[in-house]
Amino acid sequence: MIIVGSGPAGLTAAIYAGRYLLDTLVIGELNGGTISEASEVCNFPSYKNITGLELTKKLVEHVEHLGVEIKQEIVEKIEKGENFVIKTNNSIYRARAIILATGSKKRKLNVKGEKEFLGRGVSYCATCDATFFKDKKVAVVGGSDAALTAAILLSEYAEKTYIVYRKSKFFRAEPTWIKQVENNKKIEPVFNSNIIEIKGSNKVEEIILDTGKKLSVDGVFVEIGLIPNIELAEQLKLDLENGHIVTDKFQRTSLPGVFAAGDVTNNPLKQAITASAEGAIAANTAYEKIKRGD
Ligand SMILES: Cc1cc2nc3c(=O)[nH]c(=O)nc-3n(C[C@H](O)[C@H](O)[C@H](O)COP(=O)(O)OP(=O)(O)OC[C@H]3O[C@@H](n4cnc5c(N)ncnc54)[C@H](O)[C@@H]3O)c2cc1C
């Protein structure tokens, strides 16, 4: 069996597959996937508070302890024949069953200056880059849990953190994060606003809002949501719903032998624990299928 993706869904599927002694390989571009970017995870059962990187390390250790190999490669093509043929940037593999756990990637702002200043002030990962902004001014764009937790983390380093949000108040984020933002004197929400341009000479210096307001900042952290990675699902012509893979409660997709789990599916809660749960079910269904010799 081949599991594509080494986020919580793929790694949990690997733990179950390892316990079932299935000949399993995980192929993932980034271990931990998006959870590796979470500064604090406070809702993964059995950890009151753990960083995304530490949770990733524990998941990877668990998988490797069971003898399942993780290859850091990118799957570029999957073809269906008698078996599945999986082509990566490095090699070709064959499998009888596939679990797609490809998760999602960050949505871009698509404004002038975003691409030009990537790595020179524009970032999509506060956990990775917050320390570069000690005593600086930064803006986080968005109003979700991810945006608010990014702002809370950044406020530990930056002298000032703006949260630029298009709505009039935060309503999508967890009340705990909203309260922490409201009580943090170094964070200033800027509501009813969108960034229309990021400006600077060598690096970010200013953002222009659609209200006409200009803010001097050294960094812009974009947290405006995620886009599911469905390129492989499209190649396999799987049924999709709102850009996500449709699965049944056994994590079967519309193509026999292909299962899907985590943020790439049409599940209603995009979290590490639900991704892990779907990974466990997908591995179990795949195991039943392989055992039957289907
Ligand atoms: C900033 C932030 C904070 C968060 N905080 C929390 C939190 O506190 N609690 C919580 O429960 N959830 C949190 N989440 C959500 C959580 O991260 C996701 O729900 C979870 O990671 C989904 O897991 P997944 O395995 O489905 O997908 P992902 O984590 O997105 O993993 C996808 C995997 O697929 C790989 N991949 C994709 N395409 C390919 C390809 N073609 N070839 C090879 N590999 C590929 C990626 O490299 C990655 O390994 C947060 C998310 C963000 C962005």
Indicate whether residue 6 lines ligand 1 (CB < 6 A). yes
Which tens digit of pLDDT belongs to each residue from 132-170?
Answer: 999 999 999 999 999 999 999 999 999 999 999 999 999
Nearest atom in ligand 1 to 272's CA: 11
Ligand 1 atom nearest 278 alpha carbon: 26
CA distance 151 to 292: 50
pLDDT of residue 276: 98
Model confidence at 292, pLDDT cuts 50, 70, 90, reads confident
Q: What are phi and psi of 149, to 5 degrees?
A: -70, -35
pLDDT band at 4 (very low <50, low <70, confident <90, very high): very high
Q: From the CB of 102, is ligand 1 less than 6 Å away?
A: yes
Residue 154: closest CA among 176, 130, 178 = 130
C-beta of 39 in contact with ligand 1 (< 6 A) = no
pLDDT in tens, 178-225: 999 999 999 999 999 999 999 999 999 999 999 999 999 999 999 999
From 129, 145, 218, 263, the catalytic residue: 129
Amino acid (1-letter code) at residue 129 = D
Report, as an integer, the average pLDDT of 27-44. 93
Q: Is the CB of 277 under 6 A from ligand 1?
A: no
Tokens representing 278?
């779907």
Residue 240 burial (10 A CB sphere; 0-12, 13-18, 19+): middle
**128 belongs to the catalytic site:** yes
User: 75 in ligand 1 pocket by Cβ < 6 Å?
Assistant: yes
pLDDT of 39 > 90? The answer is no
- Tell me how far apart the alpha carbons of residues 100 and 51 are, in angstroms, rounded to a whole number: 25
Q: pTM (2 decimals)?
A: 0.89
Q: Known catalytic residue: 129? A: yes
Which of 122, 13, 277 shows the shortest CA–CA distance to 4? 13
Question: Is residue 23 annotated as a catalytic residue, yes or no?
Answer: no
Q: Give percent of the chain above pLDDT 90.
A: 95
β-pairing, 69-71 vs 25-27, is parallel
